[in-house]
Amino acid sequence: MRFGVALFPSKQLQDWVNSYRKRYDPHYSLIAPHLTLVNAFEATEEEAETIASQLREAVKNHEPFMLKTSKISSFHPVNNVIYLKVDPQEAITALHKDLNDLLESPGMQYKFVPHITVGQKLSDDEHWDVYGALKMQGIDHEEEIDRVHLLYQLENGQWTVYETFRLGKEAEL
């Protein structure tokens, strides 16, 4: 089965992103707005507990951090994906590297561009229409991220959370 690691921003930011995903993201009903830290990888249900315990240890070396967004961007021409760009500060890139090293993740063919998808699988026309309308908006937002989630995918495509991991050494207290 397929697993992945992601973080969910605040409800406020998720609601804002969903107001666009509802129309522009076919994955809208499969998972809440998120930032992917480890791309989907294959493992068995039996392996989940081992993976979870490795992640539980690894996140202790990463303190909660501020997630900052400033603008809407696009992966065109690689993909017609419109996203909320997240500042690639040290805390998030270090977390991404650690988790991917740990899980020997194959999802490293692209440079890590931390983002929250707003629209995807758009036709070229749709892409330019939506991107044109959205990129004028400044999205100056900042919030603390203190946890990440290991998820797995059901046969219908929906993602369910297996376990949450709170960042930082103090998290167990």
Q: Please state, in angstroms and rounded to a whole number, the distance separating the CA atoms of residues 71 and 136.
A: 8
Specify the residue, 2 or 71, whose C-beta has the smaller distance to its own copies.
2
Q: Does 121 sit near its own copies (CB under 8 A)?
A: no
Q: Is 22 in the site for its own copies (CB under 8 A)?
A: yes
Query: Phi/psi of residue 25, each to 5°?
Result: -130, 110
Amino acid at 69: T
- Is 155 one of the binding residues for its own copies (CB under 8 A)? yes
Assess contact for 43 and 162: CB atoms under 8 A.
no
Q: How far is CA 80 from the centre of its chain?
A: 17
Nearer to its own copies, 113 or 161 (CB): 161
The answer to whether residue 154 forms part of the interface with its own copies (CB under 8 A) is: yes
H/E segment holding residue 149: strand 147-153
- With beta carbons less than 8 A apart as the criterion, state whether 86 and 116 touch: yes
- In the residue annotation, 27 being an active-site residue is answered as no
Please tell me whether residue 63 binds its own copies under the rule CB under 8 A.
no
Rule CB under 8 A: say whether 66 interacts with its own copies. Answer: no
Rounded CA separation 134/17 (Å)? 11
34 is catalytic: yes
- What is the binding site for its own copies (CB under 8 A)? 1, 8, 10-12, 14-15, 18, 22, 29, 32, 45, 147, 149, 152, 154-156, 158, 160-164, 166, 172
| Active site amino acids | 34, 115
